[in-house]
Amino acid sequence: MNANLFALFESRFPADRTACCIETHDELYYTWDDLDRATAKLANLLVALKLPAGARVAVQVEKSPEALFLYLATLRAGYVYLPLNTAYQEAEIDYFVGNAEPSVVVCSSANFGWVSKVAFRHGTAHVFTLDDDRSGSLLARAASHPDKFETVASADDDLAAILYTSGTTGRSKGAMLTHRNLASNALTLHAYWGWRSDDVLLHMLPIFHVHGLFVASHGALLAGAKMIWAPKLDMAQILKFLPRSTVMMGVPTYYVRMLQEPRFDDDTCRRMRLFVSGSAPLLLETFDAFRERTGHTILERYGMSETVMLVSNPYDEAVGERIGGTVGTPLPGVSVRVVDGEANACAVGEIGNIEVKGPNVFKGYWRMPEKTAEEFTADGWFRTGDVGRFGGEIVSHAGARKVPDNYVTIVGRSKDLIISGGYNVYPKEIESFIDEMPGVAESAVIGVPHQEFGEAVVAVVVRKPGSDFDEAAFGAAGFEAKLIGTLKTRIANFKVPKRVHVVNELPRNTMGKVQKNVLRQQFGAL
């Protein structure tokens, strides 16, 4: 049996392949036949390039159906897909391309000048462009290739994708996901969330990370269900398309903004059967307000780049209820344990380190065997770096509520991670950019609570007096604006601090480690 993930999707395509697979926000319609032919042409192009076995295809383009087809074609041709956030700047892309050594890089036409220089400097043989208006050299080259392609046979353990996820050291790690990792998780979610062939997925997530590319897209593809495809969250499109949809996935920011729209009500959701939230903690306030406004209870779940989905609140009420403030129970086939610092199992209600095991857990970090070994226990459990508990209580304005013993609640992260608007932000990476700036002695980056984004990035900076980048030269507001403006040219916008505070020194413990908990108390409000 062919373990190629595309072969699994293809086996679930609807009998009527002239049915609509993707409808776009600007009224384009792609059938399942269109998907099959487009992915065949792109796969034939990739094969014609005579790429080495296991070649990586790195992609940084805006969201479009053609971008999804490129992902599927890469799988179909037996290569490894490497999605890159569209907000990444040159210094970030330089690292990813240098580390992954892709044979093919695909970027937007607007970025071709600098991306191609980076790619060729690192030995990439082929650079193509792909834009969200169905133009670019990739599609032009693929047009002349046949629209039939026999999906390459892949083994369970063959790589399907590499997703980069930064670590607390600031050095990004490439999580290697196999065809089995992705297929097992897609099949589990298909059953657990009750996917149906007549579902309509409103897809407003980006497709460069797990949530939009794997969880959402895989769900619809495996069900043979239609997707309504929009570039990003847009309330006018929510109001237009949600009444025709049955499933929507989003980050908490989406639901906050929906609740801010007076015209969004239960009638807008009249056909909906499932709202899913993930990638960041969902505030109980949002959970309760959404249910009160619409009558729908958001399903919150928990996953990682290294594992796809791990834990989920139930879809089926017969299995259990959806409890705000929790991420639910371990998915079928996935094992989760909570242990203390000595690796002893924690009692119910006791907070500890979350470790997981299952067919969805990644193969390891790209070219980092030591880091891979460090993140797995001797008995094969992956250390997530998250802190949580089974059972216990959820405390809200309505009082304390007991949580069933098999439900997981995430209470924090042992890894120094900020999640802002659903995107992972690693402080050490940002600190390294700030510390390089003239006039900056050192810095510390923290996350502070933010109603819309979950957490906001804040930088605390110690300056070097007398330099051109001195606060005295610009004034406090000018110093902050200059530092933020400089960062916006170097890193993705979601990583750029929303505030910069200047201090004479950073608080440290007796071992010299910066006490970020003290900084969060001091600068915890924007």
Q: Which domains does the chain possess? A: 418-522 (3.30.300.30)
Q: Are 82 and 107 in contact (CB under 8 A)?
A: no
d(CA 149, CA 3): 16
Give pTM, 2 decimals: 0.86
Could you read off the pLDDT tens digit of each residue along the chain, which spans 526 residues?
899 999 999 999 999 999 999 999 999 999 999 999 999 999 999 999 999 999 999 999 999 999 999 999 999 999 999 999 998 999 999 999 999 999 999 999 999 999 999 999 999 999 999 999 999 999 999 999 999 999 999 999 999 999 998 544 457 899 999 999 999 999 999 999 999 999 999 999 999 999 999 999 999 999 999 999 999 999 999 999 999 999 999 998 899 999 999 999 999 999 999 999 998 788 888 999 999 999 999 999 999 999 999 999 999 999 999 999 999 999 999 999 999 989 999 999 998 999 999 999 999 999 999 999 999 999 999 999 988 999 999 876 677 889 999 999 998 666 667 889 888 787 877 887 888 788 888 899 999 989 888 899 999 999 887 765 555 555 567 888 889 999 999 899 999 999 999 999 899 764 456 888 889 889 987 7
Q: Is 63 helix (H, G, I), strand (E, B) or coil?
A: coil
Closest CA to 108 of 125, 93, 96: 93
Q: Are 119 and 50 in contact (CB under 8 A)?
A: no
Q: How far is CA 272 from CA 244, 282, 298, in A?
A: 8, 20, 11
Q: Which position has the token pair 């399903």?
A: 299
Q: How far is CA 49 from CA 52, 79, 142, 149, 477, in A?
A: 9, 12, 11, 15, 53
Q: Which position has the token pair 């996953």?
A: 303
CB atoms within 10 A of CB 287: 21
Closest CA to 5 of 187, 250, 176: 187
Q: Which position has the token pair 């906001």?
A: 456
The answer to whether the Cα torsion of 15, 242, 255, 284 is positive or negative is negative
- The percent helix, strand, coil of the chain (3-state, each to 5) is 30, 25, 40
Q: Which position has the token pair 């609807």?
A: 14
d(CA 276, CA 470): 46
Q: What are phi and psi of 371, to 5 degrees?
A: -65, -40
Q: What is the pLDDT of residue 290?
A: 97
Closest CA to 212 of 305, 112, 76: 305
- Exposure of 503 by Cβ count < 10 A (0-12 exposed, 13-18 middle, 19+ buried)? middle
Neighbouring residues of 386: CB distance < 8 A, sequence distance ≥ 6: 353, 354, 410, 412, 413, 414, 415
What is the DSSP code (8-state) at residue 283? P
Angle at alpha carbon of residue 308, lines to 307 and 309, rounded to 5°: 105
Instruction: Annotate 60-89 with b (16+ C-beta within 10 A) or e (fewer).
Output: bbbbbbbbbbbbbbbbbbbbbbbbbbbbbb
Neighbouring residues of 151: CB distance < 8 A, sequence distance ≥ 6: 2, 4, 6, 7, 10, 43, 76
d(CA 336, CA 507): 36
Find the DSSP H helices in 295-444: 369-375, 427-435
d(CA 43, CA 147): 9
Report residue 418 CA to chain centroid gap: 13
Q: Are 296 and 254 in contact (CB under 8 A)?
A: no
Neighbouring residues of 380: CB distance < 8 A, sequence distance ≥ 6: 357
Q: Is 271 helix (H, G, I), strand (E, B) or coil?
A: coil
d(CA 488, CA 479): 14
